[in-house]
Amino acid sequence: MGDHLGKSQHALLNEGDENEMEIFGYRTQGCRKALCLIGSIFSLGMLPLVFYWRPAWRVWANCVPCSLQEADIVLLRTTDEFKIYSWKKVMWISLSALSSTSGLTPDHPLIADEEFIINRAIRKPDLKVRYIKVQKIRYVWNNLEGQFQKIGSLEDCLSSAKIHQKFGLGLTSEEQEIRRLICGPNAIDVEIIPIWKLLVKEVLNPFYIFQLFSVCLWFSEDYKEYALAIILMSVISIALTVYDLRQQSVKLHHLVESHNSITVSVYERKAGAQDLESRLLVPGDLLILTGSRVQMPCDAVLIDGSCVVDEGMLTGESIPVTKTPLSQTASSAPWKMQSEADPRRHILFCGTEVIQAKAAGSGTVRAVVLQTGFNTAKGDLVRSILYPKPMNFKLYRDAIRFLLCLVGTATIGMIYTLCVYVLSGEPPEEVVRKALDVITIAVPPALPAALTTGIIYAQRRLKKKGIFCISPQRINVCGQLNLVCFDKTGTLTRGGLDLWGVVPCDQNGFQAVHSFASGEAVPWGPLCAAMATCHSLILLDGTIQGDPLDLKMFEATQWEMTVSGDDFHNKEMLAHTMVVKPPDTVGQVPAEGLAILHQFPFSSALQRMTVIVQETGGGRMAFMKGAPERVASFCQPDTVPTTFISELQVYTTQGFRVIALAYKKLETDCPTTTLMREKVESDLIFLGLLILENRLKEETRPVLEELISARIRTAMITGDNLQTAITVARKSGMVSEGQKVILVEANEATDSSSASITWKLVEEKKHGLFGSQDTYINIREEVPENGREGNYHFALSGKSFQVISQHFSSLLPKVSFKGRVTFLYEQFVGSSRVFAFSRVLLYFSDAIPQILLDPFSVKLKIFQNMAEKAVFPMAAGLNCIGHFKK
């Protein structure tokens, strides 16, 4: 094997990606192919069967190693621990048809320009493109760089200015045709697998081949009853498996098929706007989005106007998300890196629904197609279903070892039987039959049928209880479950937030709490204006929709929301701009209305959101809302009360969720589109704290107590303040009374000092701060298995976690894996905290099954190695608290 791989050219496919593969070049040789054909005939089909089980052997037998440029066959090997092989045939795309109709020649500007991968893939002068197709994705041969590269998406290296300049006016029809031919159709096609294919794939499983061998042997010994029983079991097992696979294939096909044929408006550089079938879209096309609802057939980056999108298909939460246009800056940096904000706020993802499109002035809402087909976010989701990651449970590894032990025992028994029967003078055919019979006794042929039947029966029992498993094979390992991960808001706590009060602030410090229990509205002022405007709510079909937190905050002001009309004129206002107005029932308010001109949407990475607001006939202001510590860092120091930390801790220790508000006045002569976020979010005036209450569900404590009593570790994932997470953990029973919580703070190395760690004990006093008293803790201390005393909880921020993993990696297993740790994670980057959380799980698990569980819903979703699905890096904002015991 090493000799074969050493002689062929070696490269990486999807380098740095989670689907990274090694790729080797091979060229088919006629004489080798002929020898393999002869071998297949003389082996009665056994050689092709071996080649089916071992794809690499087929390539090595039929081909000779060569460079990737000369290869007609490529051998792929995954870079993970499994080292799985597969092979693909190199195919060709000819542009000769286009050259005759469009007059394309090797010297044509569209062909000669080698700025994009598509152009570099065209071989001159015959105008052909070499490509392979791996897991539904096309990879073309880059003639300039000498490697296969993914096609079907715009290059990540493009700057925002380049995107506006190159694609802002659309593609020409010639460019569209070239890209359409090379990139393929914009469709997520999932074929319904024919029954005969499923049947052949199932029957060719090594276990069923072994069963066939065993049954033939038993019939030769006139052992018909048991042979017939095994045949019956196998047929039922195969039929049930094929039926299940066929049903899944049909469901998946119908799920994605409806979105493959959508009519969209595309702007062509010469012909202008025209309707086009979505299958014909290519990366670089310019989409024109209207105000009506539309399903996105591709991933696209918004370059003009703004959109409100329902991303429920991707995130599971049908909360409208505001998308802002990609600004055209002079920076040459890749557009995804041009600011610290999340680049996904500019992207309209495939499969999501645009429920509202707002044009800038009299213009149109425009978006450039970023990715098509299986390259899109939805396509990647479908590919993860079609090509799941292999499992590596310890149970399966032990099962393989056990099977090998059975094979070893059978081999010894076969040798012993041969010796005994030969010495006894038995006929040769009888000796062979008895020796082979020993194998069928040691290795039970009914094993696969029994396992399949057991899984199907268990799946149906779970289904009756309202539990649906997305991977039935994982049911066998559920008995070894030792970690359950919970979301906090809506899972451990109730779904909605109740507005408890607001703490105003002025130059004299924090004022008395304004409680909302009395039903009185917040008095007019910057604080009231911030609550009325600093949100991402929209008015849809006469109903205000958006994030529940934003909705509660806005309702507390008792203001009304409308869409801009003739009575509110501003040249910078987009069509359908949100305008908030005070009702007549509210006291004297000098402002007739406030128009939300521009939004800098909330980002988990930035932990804040900002809006630019125009007062009717008045000035312009900016309002910020976000994590208290983060908002305070953008404010003028003299406006932040000296008691800020202690006041914040008063509420977080009681389990409240705290949001800070700030504002500043802006100049009216500067267009909002030219204002940079960094300039707007500076020298703010601190306004106060918004206090929200999130109560525990009644079912929370009993569920957690049951898991803890079963010695199953529990983890809570939350985006709240760390102190709030600690309080909820105590109230829910995840951290029991009397147990201590230790704050671990790790600092990066500087020029004058090395990396360091400090440990602080978090006091349990109602209004207490972190303890400063020295405390000695022996983490090696022996603790009785049935005792709870002596248990410690460790709380650390994401920044501290990164420092520890980089500079004190030996400390991680001591306080986590060996200590059976329970973690609570806070403030994740990315729309999915679970994916970020899975990165951390790599440090605390050894290929164990993890569960993402909502115990109060009807669905149970089981994930193994969630880290394999992680797409977002763990960020410095991540915080966690852990539970340690022997």
Beta bridge partners of 747: 756
For the stretch 562-576, pLDDT in tens is 887 644 555 555 556
Q: Which residue has the tokens 């092979």?
A: 87
Catalytic (active-site) positions: 487
Question: How sure is the predictor about 798, in pLDDT bands with cuts at 50, 70 and 90?
Answer: low
What would you report as the CA-atom Rg of the chain, rounded to the nearest whole angstrom? 32
**Are the beta carbons of 826 and 720 closer than 8 angstroms?**
yes
Statement: residue 520 has pLDDT above 60:
yes
- Percentage of residues in the chain having pLDDT higher than 70: 80
pLDDT at 132 over 90: yes
Q: Residue holding tokens 């290059």?
A: 155
Is 511:501 a contact under the CB 8 Å cutoff? no
pLDDT digit string, tens, across residues 216-243: 888 888 888 888 988 888 888 888 888 8
Q: How confident is the model at residue 300, as a pLDDT?
A: 93
**pLDDT at 863 (0 to 100):** 29
Instruction: Give residues with Cβ within 8 angstroms of 704, minimum separation 6.
Output: 714, 732, 733, 734
Query: Regarding predicted confidence, which is higher, 8 or 163?
Result: 163
Concatenating the DSSP letter of every residue in 68-124 gives TTT-SEEEEEESSTT--EEEEE-EEEE-HHHHHHH---TTSHHHH--SSHHHHT-BT
CA dihedral sign of residues 249, 255, 256, 257: positive
- Residues contacting 540, CB < 8 A, separation 6+: 308, 320, 355, 356
**pLDDT above 70 (res 866):** no
DSSP 724-760: HHHHHHHHHTSS-TT-EEEEEEEE---SSS--EEEEE
Mean pLDDT for the chain overall: 78
Helix (H, G, I), strand (E, B) or coil at 315: helix
Q: Are 390 and 345 in contact (CB under 8 A)?
A: no
pLDDT at 847: 33
pLDDT of residue 3: 55
Give the orientation angle of helix 195-203 with respect to helix 224-257, to 10 degrees: 140
Mean pLDDT across the stretch 64-89? 91
**Single-letter code of the amino acid located at 486:** F
The per-residue pLDDT for 616 is 79
Q: Which residues of 333-365 are buried (b: 16+ CB within 10 A; e: fewer)?
A: eebbebbeebebbbbbbbbbbbbbbbbbeeebb
Q: Name residue 312's amino acid.
A: G
What's the farthest any 2 CA atoms get from each other in the chain? 114
Instruction: Evaluate whether 461 touches 378 at the Cβ level (below 8 Å).
Output: no
The whole-model pTM stands at: 0.74
Beta bridge partners of 581: 560
Q: For the segment 609-662, what is each residue's pLDDT rounded down to a tens digit? A: 999 998 877 788 899 999 899 999 999 999 999 889 888 888 887 878 889 999
Burial pattern 661-679, b for ≥16 Cβ within 10 A else e, equals bbbbebeeeeebeebebee
Give the single-character DSSP code of 151. -
Instruction: Say yes or no to pLDDT of 843 above 90.
Output: no
Which pLDDT belongs to residue 1? 55
Question: Does the pLDDT of residue 70 top 80, yes or no?
Answer: yes
- Please report, as a single letter, which amino acid is at residue 519: G
Q: Who wins on pLDDT, 297 or 864?
A: 297
Nearest to 843 by CA among 874, 871, 876: 874
Q: Higher pLDDT residue, 818 or 174?
A: 174
In tens, the pLDDT along 400-454 reads 788 888 888 888 988 888 888 888 888 888 888 888 888 888 877 777 777 777 8
Mean pLDDT of 56-79: 92
To which residue do tokens 């054909």 refer? 37
The per-residue pLDDT for 815 is 57
Is the confidence at residue 537, as pLDDT, over 80?
yes
Q: Please tell me the distance from the alpha carbon of residue 94 to that of residue 456, in angstroms, as a whole number.
A: 48
Q: Is the pLDDT of residue 77 over 60?
A: yes
Is a pLDDT exceeding 60 seen at residue 2?
Answer: no
pLDDT range class, residue 362, cuts 50, 70, 90: low
Identify any residues that bridge with 549 across adjacent strands, giving them in sequence order: none
The enclosing H or E element of 657 equals strand 657-666
The residue type of 30 is: G
Q: What pLDDT score was predicted for residue 811?
A: 78
